[in-house]
Amino acid sequence: MHTESPVEKKPHKKYILRDPVSGAHDLLSQLLAYRSITTAAARKNFLQPRYDAHLHNPKLLRGMSEAVARIKKALEKNEHIILYADYDADGIPGAIVLSDFFKLIGYGNVEVYIPHRHREGFGLHREAIDTFTTPALLITIDCGITDSAEVAHARTRGIDVIITDHHMPPETLPSAVAIIDPKQPECAYPFRELCGAAVVFKLVQALIATGQFALSPGAEKWLLDMVGLATLSDMVPLVDENRVLAHYGLMVLRKSRRPGLRSLLRLLKIDQRFLTEDDIGFMVTPRLNAASRMAEPMDAFTLLSTTDPAVADTMAAHLNRINDERKGLVGSLVKEVKKIMTERADHFKNRQVIVLGNPRWRPAILGLAAGSLAEAVGKPVFLWGRETGATIKGSCRSGGGADVVAVMKTAQAMSADTFLDFGGHHFSGGFSLSTDKVHHIEDTLEEAFATVASDSSDSIIDDDTSNNVFLDGSLTLRDVRPETYAMLEQLAPFGVANPKPLFIFKQVMIKSMRQFGKLNNHLELMVSQDGAADVRAISFFTSADSFNVLLAVGKKIDLIASIEKSFFRSRPALNLRIKDVV
């Protein structure tokens, strides 16, 4: 007898059409009101982000004055400066921001070090520290806030450490000469949600503000391509300062002269002039992250930092190839996990947290698989594997319903040796544990989830509402026109805390239906409605049987979709991106 997998189809969602807001007389005003933007001043600030007016003063970051003073001392003494960056698409662009700054001021005694994801893992490492020339100054980028022992070890070697990070700090901070992290205690900075590269950019702003460098006004703005790339890649909320950095970051990315970026976009057939946040999130970021998952993280750094067009072309092709390999591995892993969940459906249907692992699974790809599964099941997913040795390493994703760091923190409080290490953000995280703890981790996380759910409504979304999806309006196919898109475009870039507006298109008829793409794994519908022009509606990595409604030519359906613009062969065209069919 066939048992339906809990992840075969898109999960059932309850779609709720938002109530109109009194006083909001047009669609744009309604959409702004749904984002709690109701005053004229707030509307202007949101729709017209200004670089000079809407960025906060970097001097407000705790530790900034000490960091600037120590870097100035290093420059005066020609000390060796080590930029120690995380290996993802936040840390690597952040390393380029700071590396480029030193190039701009003509300082060459700089080394970039990016730890290997498999051999070393996240954060500072004693073995790496022992290889550095001393005395020196080490500046972390997107890491270091939890590495007290490693910072202490560096100081015994004559290496001072400046930490720039954005992760949640522990109760006891490392003994660094300066720590810049907007989430650390007693930090007066008005915005806590910067990504790692943005924190480094604030350091560059503070250094330039000293007036001691012969730089033309606004020289740092060319670094915004990397800040925007990291902000969009790291899934930080696109509000407040992040909205400004993403907005101007995209502007610079569209004009960026970096040969590696230009080569990669050409290879991906993306017109740089029209680069969007979706292009970054779905096309560019995965290839940068493929470097650390499948090869060497310095490959991504080389791509983005090289000035040699030949090297740029070689590295772009290399990252594209290993990303294809990565997609194959992730696809196989997701298929394997789905099979296990199908075979053990009775066990998992009552679980609030999905926990699975196998020593054969490669830790580097677990986060991607966990993300795919968490989105499908609408629950937190924790996957573990092992690279070498006895240590188990894993990744987790929230599925939109839980703060996974809060769950892990609670699990660690319940049993102090649950994890060897853990960390991350609200929606994603990583962890390691000893082999003897593997057999208990599922029950421990389940209990921790229940504890967090009962203690904090802020950390866990109530089960009754976690499948609710709010729709921003009911439109017709006649509304899919340039004027509507121009209005929606004012709200971009979209992302966390500023989602792309989602609409329902009722009773549209399917005129044609086909699979497309090299693997025929994407769905295209041509839909019509009451004499309006036919509209193309697409859904990636889905087929006609992916939905909970049967699709057939001639059938009328309700589409849940957003309006987007594509640029095939530089010709703009509007279409619908399908979220669901109901």
- Concatenated DSSP letters of 264-295: HHHHTT--GGG--HHHIIIIIHHHHHHHHHHS
Q: How many residues does the chain have?
A: 582
Chosen CATH of 53-218 out of 2.40.160.60, 3.30.70.420, 3.90.1640.30, 2.40.37.10? 3.90.1640.30
Separation of alpha carbons 142 and 87, rounded Å:
9
Residues 167 and 181: beta-carbon distance below 8 Å: yes
Q: What is the pTM assigned to this prediction?
A: 0.90
Structure tokens at 294: 């499948």
| pLDDT of 45 | 94
For the chain, domain boundaries: 14-46+468-581, 53-218, 344-455
pLDDT confidence of 424, banded at 50, 70, 90?
confident
CATH architecture for residues 14-46+468-581: Beta Barrel (2.40)
Here the tokens at position 556 are 């009328």
Other Cβ atoms less than 10 A from the Cβ of 549: the count is 13
Q: Give me the amino acid identity at 223.
A: L
| Helix, strand and coil percent figures for the chain, each rounded to 5 | 40, 20, 40
pLDDT digits (tens, 9 = 90+) for 45-98: 999 999 999 999 999 999 999 999 999 999 999 999 999 999 999 999 999 999
pLDDT at 429 over 70: yes
> In the predicted model, is pLDDT for residue 6 greater than 50?
no
Q: How far apart are the C-alpha atoms of 455 and 522, rounded to whole Å?
A: 42
Quote the CA–CA distance of 143 and 140 in Å, as a whole number: 6
Q: Above 70 in pLDDT, residue 8?
A: no
Mean pLDDT across 423-437? 86
CA distance 498 to 150: 38
pLDDT of 457: 46
pLDDT (tens digit per residue) in 261-303: 999 999 999 999 999 999 999 999 999 999 999 999 999 999 9
The band of 243, judged by pLDDT with boundaries at 50, 70 and 90, is very high
CATH fold for domain 344-455: Diaminopimelate Epimerase; Chain A, domain 1 (3.10.310)
Q: What beta strand segments (E) does 398-461 contain?
A: 421-424, 428-434
